[in-house]
Amino acid sequence: MLTARSSGFLVDVDEGALVGAAEHAGVVLQLVPRIGDAVVVGTPLAHAWARDPAALDRAELEEALDGAVQLEFERSTDRDVAYGLRKVVDIAVRALSPGTNDPTTAVHAISHVSALLGELVVHPPVTRRVHDEDGRLRLVVRPWEVAALVSLAFEEPVQFAENQPGVARRLAVALRELAWRAPRGSIDDLVRRLLDQLVTGTRRSTAVPETELAGWHRDVEDALRGSWPPVDLPEPGRNWPPTRNAR
C-alpha cells in the first residue's frame, strides 16, 4: 500500500509518469481514489503489486505518485463526471429547501439530471488500464460506477421531495426514464429501491392518491422490461385516427 504525501481533491493523473514509474519498479499500480475523490495525507493512495514485494522501494514510488497525481483545493469538471452531476443535483436540493421553496427550478434540474444519467447509463465510465510499450499492464484508474452516480443523483432529491407532489411526480418519471435507458438488469434493484423510498415519502407527506402511486410502480416495472405502453388511446373507429381538421 502506498500512501498520499499531500491532501486535496484528485482532479487529474499524469498516466505517462505513473506508467514509467511502475515499469521502473516492476509493479502494477492501482489508484485508490477516483477522479473527484478527496485525498488525505497519510491515507492509501495506490496499491502496488510486485513479483518481489521485499525489493519494492515504497518511498520512491510514493514520491513518483506525489508528482503524478494532481491534487487541488477544489474539484474540477474537466474529468470529474460526478462533480458535474453533483452541481445540477445541488440546484434541485437548494430549490427544495424551506428558505427557497422553488419546486419549478427543482423540476427543471431533475430533468437535466435525467438527461445526464441517461447518457451515463448508455455510455458508462470505464476503468482505465494503461500498458507500457511492451504491452504489460502498469496502471489501473478506477471510474465512478453507474450505481454510485445514480445514487448521487437521486438520494437527496428523493429525500427532500416530501411535501412537494410536483417534484415527486417528476422524480417518478425520471426513474422511469432511467429504467428505460439502462441496459436490462444493470441497475434494476437500485431503481426499485429509490422508487420505494419516493413512494413512501410521497404517501406520508402529500395527498397523491394511491392509484397514482401504484401507477408509478407499474410504469417503472414496464420500463425495466423495455415496455412503454400508450396512454388512453381512443378505440379504433371512434374518431381514430384523427383527421387533419380534427381538434
Q: Write out the E strands in 63-192.
A: 69-72, 128-131, 137-141
pTM score = 0.88
The conformation of residue 99, written as its DSSP 8-state character, comes to T
Listed as ranges, residues in the chain with pLDDT below 50 are 246-247
Confidence (pLDDT) at 119:
96
Three-state secondary structure call for residue 188: helix
The reply to whether 174 and 63 lie within a common domain is: no
* Segment 209-218 long-range contacts (CB within 8 Å, at least 24 positions apart): 216/172, 216/175, 216/176
Confidence (pLDDT) at 247:
39
The reply to whether 119 and 206 lie within a common domain is: yes
Looking at the DSSP assignment, which residues form a beta bridge with residue 61?
A: none
* Segment 92-99 long-range contacts (CB within 8 Å, at least 24 positions apart): 92/157, 93/156, 93/157, 93/160, 96/157, 96/160, 96/161, 96/164, 96/167, 97/160
The reply to whether 6 and 114 lie within a common domain is: no
Residue 47 covered by a domain: yes
Q: Write out the E strands in the chain.
A: 2-3, 8-13, 27-31, 38-39, 44-50, 69-72, 128-131, 137-141
Confidence (pLDDT) at 246:
43
The reply to whether 53 and 28 lie within a common domain is: yes
Q: What is the CATH number of the domain that holds 58?
A: 3.90.1170.30
* Residue 111, C-alpha cell as written in the block: 430533468
Three-state secondary structure call for residue 112: helix
Q: Which domain holds residue 219?
A: 81-125+145-224
Confidence (pLDDT) at 57:
87
Confidence (pLDDT) at 238:
58
Residue 131 covered by a domain: no
Give me the helix-helix angle, 210-224 and 188-205, nearest 10°.
Answer: 170
Confidence (pLDDT) at 232:
74
The reply to whether 66 and 89 lie within a common domain is: no
Name 188's Cβ contacts closer than 8 Å, sequence gap at least 6: 179, 182, 224
Q: Please give the backbone phi and psi of residue 70, each rounded to the nearest 5 degrees, phi first.
A: -95, 110
Cβ atoms < 10 Å from Cβ of 97? 11
